């Protein structure tokens, strides 16, 4: 290149520098104006980057950085109808770009298959499977598909652009998420999986990296590259190989050869929520094989031992989601949704759990009592406490709590019994799990005793 020649992509240099926040629009217009004046004088105009340096708008290091980005943009794929704006990320199967759909002037995301995989029919098939899977789904908690095709020998898939971050990135930044956020994400993902199940779709790779959260808190399931359909349309590797991510893979997927179904996704979502709630995946190890072996053989660790702020109710739901046998888990996303919604009503944004919510209800109730009645009630309570103390403390704290909880415990037992009676095909472990929740939530109540007796009858086969 001669000293007087213009550098490559000079017309794009200024707009990109402005987009990167290195140059103001006024500074760019000033540099362009200087070029125009030089042309009018018959003088060969100086390149925009040099003018910006001379005016003190940019340093040489900043100019070099912009020119590197320009060269990268030259390597970006050219897809008719779309203007590539930035690279969002790169994965094993390809690269995701932020782009503008010219016809509608809207921002989209475009996944482009990696050049090294363009000749691999298996990966092309998997890539197209994702596009077809997303095209089938239309739900606010699933990334929406827009377009799919091939341009200049490169396969691409256009989808909605989510202005947010993955739960994995948030986890890395903040550590364990508040329980109400974990429950909210779980509910939204259960809805997404329910919608997928209605269309015969199994995701097979639910994990924190595949859940996006928008700025408004909407969770979206993405990356359906390992998805399969019940009717057999799949782009999986050879039969017998494990498909999924070791930290979140279900036991049946880890074994390889077993068909995954929607209950496999429930397991993976359980492992994902465990990670979000505790800051650690349920199982770790020195290799993928070690981790998958633990998924198949070891019981789910206690989330509360890792993070004591996790409620017992959430821990129980996670344990059931991660049962080794599919028959012992929630049998559908809708059943999981029911469990999570029940828990949602007990957790407050203050993360105080069940006791704090009950305390707030008592405080609200007390505030509506007339002052005179309230003072009289306080006096009665003090007399009762004095009588208990003088009487040698008869009646334990557990007994008093059990008496307070009894109506709620009776309702919980009726709900569990009705569910068992209306679902006779469910596995005994699933039925016992419903009853055990009554025992754990309302210890010392007669409802808990009756639930224990019912479990014993199940175990004895009566």
Neighbouring residues of 180: CB distance < 8 A, sequence distance ≥ 6:
344, 347, 348, 349, 351
CA 173 from centre of chain: 15
Residue 113's beta-bridge partner residues? 94
- Residue 17: CA count within 13 A, CB half-sphere: 30
Give the list of residues 6+ apart from residue 184 with CB closer than 8 angstroms, or none. 217, 219, 344
Active site residue 440: no
Question: Which one of the listed residues 74, 105, 163, 205 is annotated catalytic?
Answer: 205
Question: What does the buried/exposed string (b/e) look like for 60-86 if buried means 16 or more CB atoms within 10 Å of the residue's CB?
Answer: eebbeebbebbeeeeebbebeebebbe
- 115: DSSP letter: G
Alpha helices, DSSP H, located in 102-153: 121-136
Helix (H, G, I), strand (E, B) or coil at 166: strand
First CA to last CA distance, the chain: 91
CB 188 within 8 A of CB 141: yes
Q: How are the residues of the chain apportioned to helix, strand and coil, as percentages rounded to the nearest 5?
A: 55, 10, 35
For the annotated catalytic residues, the residue numbers are: 205
């Amino acid at each position: 290149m001669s000293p007087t020649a213009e550098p490559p992509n000079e017309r794009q240099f200024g707009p990109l520098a402005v987009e990167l926040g290195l140059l103001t629009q006024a500074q760019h217009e000033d540099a362009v104006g200087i070029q125009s004046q030089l042309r009018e004088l018959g003088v060969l105009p100086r390149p925009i980057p040099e003018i910006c340096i001379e005016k003190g708008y940019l340093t040489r290091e900043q100019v070099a950085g912009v020119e590197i980005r320009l060269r990268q943009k030259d390597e970006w794929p050219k897809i008719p109808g779309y203007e590539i704006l930035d690279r969002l990320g790169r994965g094993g199967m390809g690269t995701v770009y932020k782009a503008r759909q010219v016809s509608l002037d809207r921002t989209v995301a475009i996944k482009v298959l990696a050049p090294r995989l363009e000749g691999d029919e298996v990966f092309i098939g998997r890539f197209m499977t994702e596009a077809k899977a997303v095209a089938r789904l239309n739900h606010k908690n699933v990334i929406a598909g827009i377009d799919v095709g091939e341009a200049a020998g490169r396969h691409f898939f256009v989808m909605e652009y989510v202005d947010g971050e993955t739960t994995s990135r948030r986890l890395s930044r903040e550590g364990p998420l508040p329980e109400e956020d974990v429950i909210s994400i779980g509910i939204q993902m259960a809805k997404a999986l329910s919608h997928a199940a209605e269309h015969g779709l199994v995701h097979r790779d639910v994990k924190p990296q595949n859940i996006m959260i928008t700025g408004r808190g909407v969770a979206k399931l993405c990356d359906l590259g390992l998805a399969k359909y019940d009717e057999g349309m799949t782009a999986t590797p050879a039969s017998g190989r494990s498909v999924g991510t070791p930290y979140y893979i279900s036991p049946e997927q880890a074994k390889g050869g077993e068909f995954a179904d929607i209950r496999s996704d429930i397991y993976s979502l359980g492992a994902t929520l465990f990670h979000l709630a505790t800051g650690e995946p349920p199982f770790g190890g020195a290799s993928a094989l070690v981790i998958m072996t633990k998924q198949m053989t070891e019981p789910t660790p206690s989330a509360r031992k890792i993070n004591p702020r996790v409620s017992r109710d959430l821990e129980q739901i996670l344990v059931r989601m991660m049962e080794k046998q599919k028959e012992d888990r929630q049998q559908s996303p809708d059943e999981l949704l029911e469990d999570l919604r029940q828990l949602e009503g007990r957790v407050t944004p203050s993360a105080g759990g069940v006791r704090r919510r009950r305390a707030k209800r008592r405080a609200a109730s007390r505030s509506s009592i007339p002052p005179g009645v309230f003072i009289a009630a306080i006096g009665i309570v003090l007399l009762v406490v004095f009588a208990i103390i003088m009487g040698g403390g008869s009646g334990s704290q557990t007994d008093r709590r059990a008496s307070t909880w009894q109506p709620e415990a009776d309702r919980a037992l009726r709900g569990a019994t009705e569910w068992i009676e209306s679902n006779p095909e469910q596995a005994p472990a699933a039925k016992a799990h419903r009853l055990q929740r009554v025992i754990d939530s309302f210890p010392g109540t007669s409802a808990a005793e009756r639930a224990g007796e019912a479990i014993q009858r199940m175990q004895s086969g009566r």
